[in-house]
């Protein structure tokens, strides 16, 4: 970090025009400046508190007109109402660029001359957000040719004779910028990986389970057609449909391994188990000790699939007419119990 006293300093606005010409942000900045004027990249906002209703609003409208007629102003937007009419705001676009001295002088002139001439008695309270920001980022090139990102701040310090001096501080934030860039790249990789995985699932569904289900539909239609005229042929088609259906089931089971149902992720294990119970072909009672209890993702996932597999086996093999699932925990131990009134062997 670098800090040094400065006896005179002209504060400007944060400006992407200081970026290298090859930078994407700089190129966009130049396009906007060329198309809409240099001040388009450096507008400032006039904010007025208007608690007195129509009288304050009328003053804001007069102020907007006066600022619009001020030399150095290219355009002023219409006042917009916020907070149920308690605040009014409008943008001011200068004719000069953000870093130009003319822009700084315009802000001071509006604040010190235009606003006091329109606003009487201090009502409404008007503020300009056109002051230079507390931190301004610049890019520098070191003696070794390395590009450095530096955050500069200027702190007013009163002198002994009453004069105002400034303490100018520069903080090297290059490493932070590199980390932020890596985070953005990491997020892009995550989105790309997610998209690739989605496409993989789509492809597997299309090439696997979907093809099996098409074959099932075709075989069932043929079975229905031959059911009366040729029962043996119909039986062959229905057997083929059953084989294809089992193949599709296995394909879907394989794809589903490791996928988290949304309800498990958002609402937790107890809600997910109740959803499983609600889809079961037999009545299933779910008993829990604390529906709000959350466990690590891997634990909840394992427990969920244990219950899902157990209820599937109960339905297939036990001949049960009802089942019970208990989700219990003591301290840091999670216990899952699945019982039924069937013949056992599930």
Q: What counts of helices (H) and strands (E) characterise the chain? A: 10, 12
How far is CA 93 from each of CA 39, 73, 76, 195, 334, rounded to the nearest angstrom?
A: 6, 6, 6, 42, 63
Please report the pLDDT score of residue 129 as a whole number.
62
- CATH number corresponding to 261-346: 3.30.565.10
Please report the pLDDT score of residue 212 as a whole number.
77
What gap in Å lies between CA 65 and CA 73, rounded to an integer? 11
Please report the pLDDT score of residue 6 as a whole number.
47
Phi and psi dihedrals of 331, rounded to 5?
55, -115
Burial 234-265 (b: 16+ CB within 10 A, else e): beebbebbeebbebbeebeeeeeeeeebebbe
Please report the pLDDT score of residue 338 as a whole number.
92
Tens of pLDDT, residue by residue, the chain (346 residues): 455 554 444 555 556 666 777 777 777 777 777 877 777 777 778 888 877 778 888 888 989 999 999 999 988 988 888 767 778 888 888 888 877 788 888 888 888 888 888 887 666 777 776 444 455 667 777 788 888 888 777 665 656 666 666 666 777 888 888 888 888 888 888 888 888 878 877 877 777 777 778 888 888 888 898 888 898 888 988 888 888 888 888 777 766 665 667 788 888 899 989 988 888 888 999 998 888 888 888 888 888 888 888 888 888 888 888 999 999 887 788 999 999 988 865 4
Please report the pLDDT score of residue 132 as a whole number.
42
Structural domain spans, the chain: 2-172, 196-257, 261-346
Q: Which of 2, 75, 88, 70 is nearest to 38 (CA)?
A: 75
In the chain, what is the straight-line distance between the N-terminal and C-terminal CA atoms, in Å?
A: 70
């Amino acid at each position: 970090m670098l800090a040094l006293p400065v006896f005179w300093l002209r504060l400007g606005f944060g400006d992407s025009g200081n970026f290298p010409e090859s930078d994407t942000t700089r190129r966009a900045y130049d396009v906007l400046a060329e198309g809409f004027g240099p001040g388009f990249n450096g507008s400032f906002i006039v904010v007025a508190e208007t608690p007195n209703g129509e009288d304050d609003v009328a003053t804001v409208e007069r102020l907007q007109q006066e600022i619009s007629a001020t030399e150095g102003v290219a355009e002023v937007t219409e006042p917009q109402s916020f907070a149920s009419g308690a605040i009014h705001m409008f943008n001011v676009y200068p004719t000069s660029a953000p870093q130009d001295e003319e822009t700084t002088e315009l802000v001071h002139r509006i604040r010190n001359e235009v606003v006091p001439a329109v606003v009487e008695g201090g009502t409404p309270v008007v503020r300009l957000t056109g002051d230079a920001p507390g931190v301004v980022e610049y890019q520098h090139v070191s003696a070794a040719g390395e590009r450095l990102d530096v955050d500069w701040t200027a702190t007013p310090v009163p002198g002994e004779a009453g004069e105002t001096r400034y303490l100018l501080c520069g903080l090297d934030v290059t490493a932070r910028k590199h980390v932020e860039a890596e985070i953005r790249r990491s997020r892009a990789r995550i989105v790309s990986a997610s998209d690739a995985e989605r496409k993989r699932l789509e492809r597997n569904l299309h090439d696997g389970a979907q093809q099996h289900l098409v074959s099932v539909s075709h075989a069932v239609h043929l079975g229905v057609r031959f059911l009366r005229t040729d029962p043996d042929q119909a039986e062959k088609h229905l057997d083929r449909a059953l084989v294809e259906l089992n193949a599709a089931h296995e394909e879907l089971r394989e794809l589903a391994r490791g996928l988290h149902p949304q309800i498990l992720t958002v609402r937790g294990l107890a809600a997910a188990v109740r959803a499983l119970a609600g889809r079961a072909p037999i009545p299933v009672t779910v008993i829990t000790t604390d529906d709000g209890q959350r466990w690590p993702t891997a634990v909840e996932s394992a427990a969920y699939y244990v219950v899902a597999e157990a209820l599937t086996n109960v339905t297939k093999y036990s001949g049960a007419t009802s089942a019970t699932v208990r989700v219990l925990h003591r301290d840091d131990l999670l216990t899952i119990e699945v019982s039924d009134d069937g013949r056992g062997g599930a």
